[in-house]
Amino acid sequence: MAILVNRDTRLIVQGITGREGSFHTKQMIDYGTNLVGGVTPGKGGEWVHGKPVFDTVKKAVDATGANASIIFVAAPYAPDAIYEAIDAGIELIVCITEGIPILDMMKVYEHLNHSSSRLVGPNCPGLLAPGIAKIGIMPGYIARPGSVGVVSKSGTLTYEVVYALTNAGLGQTTCLGIGGDPIIGTHFVDALQMFEEDPETEKVVLIGEIGGRAEVDAAEFIKTQMTKPVAAFIAGKSAPPGTRMGHAGAIIEGGEGTATEKIEALLAAGVRVADNPEQIPSLLQ
């Protein structure tokens, strides 16, 4: 069983008429995702890939019964798109958008905490439940149904590890990219708890990187709460302090957030840590 999505998930696309929104709408439909419509203010009444477009999320929810949304909206407008989805009662919100200012996300996070919505992202590839749904930009062909849960800060490393797992005959329940920004809606611990509670997930892969303490928090949760085996990879061993590496949150400051610190915490929690992503399948077998 997948986490976050199932056969009852009804997805809308905020920004469906834009170039990226339209392109990935077709990709998600072709994968088999239950995509029921989209939202672009001022474009209500139009159709994109056979799906109706609405002016607001509320109108889309009322007309289609949507309970999930994916956001392909430029950074200056993405926070308002998230607010709108929250206020419309959307249960799962996935925000692909990169470059949202931290201050804006702090305000979004506060609003999110007073709602029943879950946000994945921003600046993430979304999630892929093999054989069930693709909500985001992950290539569907790299995955196959199975019993391994994958959670990652990095989009590209997610694809690499999932493809390696598939080639090794290890299918996945859900592949989840949480994003690497300093303020995100769903953290490693959230995903680990969902995988722990999912009866079909037997093993878990965690892919982290330098910056912050999310992986250390994950290690503490694994040590005290998880019964399922976990393998991990931490990117950025050679990153110089004070230099941002890729994601906005991937920066070592004040001697904290180093790959060494995170690897030591994970090892102490009984996690098998790979030296490179290609080792992950062998660590799980």
Query: Taking CA 187 as the corner, what is the angle to CA 186 and CA 191, rounded to the nearest 5 degrees?
Result: 85
* Amino acid present at 213: R
CA distance 266 to 100: 30
Q: Does the annotation count 49 as an active-site position?
A: no
Contact 153, 141 (CB under 8 A): no
Selecting among 49, 114, 187, 247, the annotated active-site residue is 247
Instruction: Provide DSSP, 243-281.
Output: ---SSTT---BTTBS-HHHHHHHHHHTT-EE-SSGGGHH
Query: Taking CA 36 as the corner, what is the angle to CA 30 and CA 40, rounded to the nearest 5 degrees?
Result: 105
CA distance 111 to 100: 16
The 10 Å Cβ neighbour count of residue 80 is 14
Active site amino acids: 247
